[in-house]
Amino acid sequence: MNITFIILILIIISLYIRHRNKKKKIAFCFLIYDKIHNEELWYRFFKNIDPNKYNIYIHYKINTPLKYFEQYKLNNPIPTEYGDISLVKAHRLLFREALKDKDNYKFINVSNSCFPMKSFNHIYNELTKDNKGHFIQQSRLMIDHIFKELAPDIPKKYINKSSQWFILNREHAIIVTQQKIINNYIDMFAPEEVFFITTLFQHGKQNTLTLSPNISDKATTYTCWPDNNCKYISSEDSQYNGPNHKSPRNYISISPDELYYLNKSKCLFGRKFADNCYGLQNSLFLKKKNLVFSSVGDKTNFINNWLSHKNEKNFDLWVIYYGKNTSDLYKDDVDYWERRKGSKMQNFHYIWNKYRDLILTYDRFFILDDDIEFNTYDINEYFRISKQYNLWMLQPSFHGDSKISHKITKKQNNSLLRYSNFVEINTPLISKEVITDIMKMYCPSLTGWGIDCMMSHILINKKGFNTKKIAILDKVSCVNPDEDKKGGGQREIVLLQPNIVRQEKWQYFKQKNKITFDIDQIKQYGSI
């Protein structure tokens, strides 16, 4: 074989490999007014991501300092006005800056109110698997009106209208920045919604575009338009002017079920989220794998205890508030918040039924009385040990002057943990593996009494149970305060339901479900 031919083949193979291994970066092109809403959450979106996978470019109208992204601002922004040709020019300026990096592969337009609905890696893999651009195509009903403004310079077959929050490939970015004819669009309202998609159609790039309908959950960037019948939305979550209003809804907060729905949809981003929008912190790519749940009242200090080192917690905190304060007490301190009467287990059962898909994205659940005293690091350690020893259920031991209802729960020295067949209902840490079994049998008629015996019965009789599945932790204990330490008075659970009633309901439930476990059967199997 001719040596020249062999060398040529090797060069071709080398070029092919180089092409396959070429870096692909995503250019995030922010067009903002003065700041990026929910900037800290965006920071967490990019945190620990390989910087060779993305670039950030920010065009601003008002130069307000940014906490995390100040270094990405353009040096030469231009004045912009709503619905004006200046927005086309600002987008083009962003693309020109981004084109300077030859590794930028896709170019994403995002606004100050946008937020990612997926993890960085998901978005990256989705956009780099092909070379398509993405536009959210709007109704053709407006084309005739637009055609009158642009004709005769542009044939009607090329004219299109889209959301300005589109995604381009590199070729598209070059075309729209080099397009010289923009004067036709000067007198048009919202020319940024026409210029870019129309220009690409003029250049015959229709087959390189993915065109999504202007329907919220089908678009790359979600927008909740009133006539799209957005799922799960409620008026309390948004600024909303009624079904006949043409503007999209602005989210002040987002409910867990809608956020979960959007996280699972095809949308890569969402729009119109207010700064510090409550609930966004629970997006699936941000949430922890552990969940602490409690029903909380007015006589509690759980914020100072459990969230003593809030920024270092390995768990999300979900509370249901049953107190008398008319404000949304504690809401700004926790990850999930609702107002509802009822006991701890009644309310956990409530969120289990309402948000089950979301609940089951967690691995472990610490269902606590709101008066239990320990700090953030203690809770982190409970979750860590539960995972390390592959436990179905765990509770901390009680120390000091704690209220001790069962002798086995008192802290023992020189012990890491003790295996048992019982965990008290005030502090059960339950694994995902068994939480469904417990919720299937639990009935909201039970407000506390006997529930721990019910859980022991379920787990002891569950396939795969052995003597190393349930434990009491001595290494890190906690305080279960007496009533007199909390200011005295009747226990709040008693105010909800008298002891005699709670006992009667348990006895009925126990007989009905043929529960054989009782407190006289509590035992310890060994220790570490």
Residues 300 and 440 in one domain: yes
Residue 13 lies in a domain: no
Residues 31 and 139 in one domain: yes
Integer angstrom CA distances of residue 274 from 325, 328, 356, 434: 26, 18, 27, 38
Q: Which residues of the chain have pLDDT under 50?
A: 17, 21, 234-244
Residue 478 contacts residue 396 (beta carbons within 8 Å):
yes
User: C-alpha dihedral over 483, 487, 493, 496, to 10 degrees?
Assistant: 150
Residue 188: CA atoms inside 13 Å, Cβ hemisphere, count?
A: 24
Residues 205 and 291 in one domain: no
Residue 445 lies in a domain: yes
Residues 191 and 305 in one domain: no
Residue 265 contacts residue 222 (beta carbons within 8 Å):
yes
Strands, E assignment, 160-289: 167-169, 209-213, 221-222, 238-239, 250-253, 269-270, 273-278
Which residue is it, tokens 């089908």? Answer: 218
Residue 156 lies in a domain: yes
pTM: 0.84
The token pair at 271 is 């729009």
Tell me how far apart the alpha carbons of residues 152 and 129 are, in angstroms, rounded to a whole number. 39
What is the DSSP code (8-state) at residue 358? H
**pLDDT tens-place string over residues 133-161:** 999 987 666 676 777 777 667 888 898 99
Instruction: Tell me which residue of 58, 165, 73, 51 sits closest to 117, measured CA to CA.
Output: 165
Residues 97 and 183 in one domain: yes
Residue 91 lies in a domain: yes
Question: How far does Cα 512 stand from its chain's mean position?
Answer: 40
Which string of DSSP letters, residue by residue, matches 56-122?
A: EEEEESS-PPPSS-GGGB-SS-----TTSHHHHHHHHHHHHHHHTSTTEEEEEEEETT-EESS-HHH
* Tally of residues, the chain: 528
Task: Report the alpha-carbon angle 424-287-442, nearest 5.
Answer: 35
Tell me how far apart the alpha carbons of residues 375 and 385 are, in angstroms, rounded to a whole number. 16
Residue 274 contacts residue 298 (beta carbons within 8 Å):
no
Residue 154 contacts residue 184 (beta carbons within 8 Å):
yes
Q: Which of 220, 248, 266 is where one domain is finished?
A: 220
Q: Which of 220, 239, 263 is where one domain is finished?
A: 220
Residue 260 lies in a domain: no
Residues 211 and 293 in one domain: no
Tell me how far apart the alpha carbons of residues 199 and 505 are, in angstroms, rounded to a whole number. 71
Structural domain total, the chain = 2
Partnered with residue 295 across adjacent β-strands are: 320
Residue 459 contacts residue 393 (beta carbons within 8 Å):
yes
Torsion angles phi and psi, residue 406, rounded to 5: -135, 125
pLDDT of the residue at 184: 85
Residue 243 lies in a domain: no
Tell me how far apart the alpha carbons of residues 66 and 81 are, in angstroms, rounded to a whole number. 21
Tell me how far apart the alpha carbons of residues 205 and 175 are, in angstroms, rounded to a whole number. 10
Torsion angles phi and psi, residue 323, rounded to 5: -75, -170
Coil, strand, or helix at residue 255? coil
Residues 212 and 317 in one domain: no
We report the CATH number of the domain holding residue 445 as 3.90.550.10
CA dihedral (185, 191, 194, 198) positive or negative? positive
Helix axes 432-441, 451-460, angle to 10 degrees: 120
Residues 291 and 216 in one domain: no
Residues 382 and 475 in one domain: yes
Which residue is it, tokens 């190393």? Answer: 468
Coil, strand, or helix at residue 135? strand
Residues 321 and 179 in one domain: no
Residue 518 contacts residue 453 (beta carbons within 8 Å):
yes
Residues 191 and 113 in one domain: yes
Tell me how far apart the alpha carbons of residues 88 and 197 are, in angstroms, rounded to a whole number. 12
Widest pairwise Cα distance in the chain? 98
Residues 306 and 166 in one domain: no
Query: In which domain, by residue range, is 334 found?
Result: 287-527
Tell me how far apart the alpha carbons of residues 498 and 448 are, in angstroms, rounded to a whole number. 11
The token pair at 138 is 């709007």
pLDDT of the residue at 241: 44
CB within 8 Å of 272: residues ≥ 6 apart: 113, 223, 224, 248, 249, 250, 251
Q: Which of 177, 192, 220 is where one domain is finished?
A: 220
Residue 59 lies in a domain: yes
We report the CATH number of the domain holding residue 137 as 3.90.550
Residue 410 lies in a domain: yes
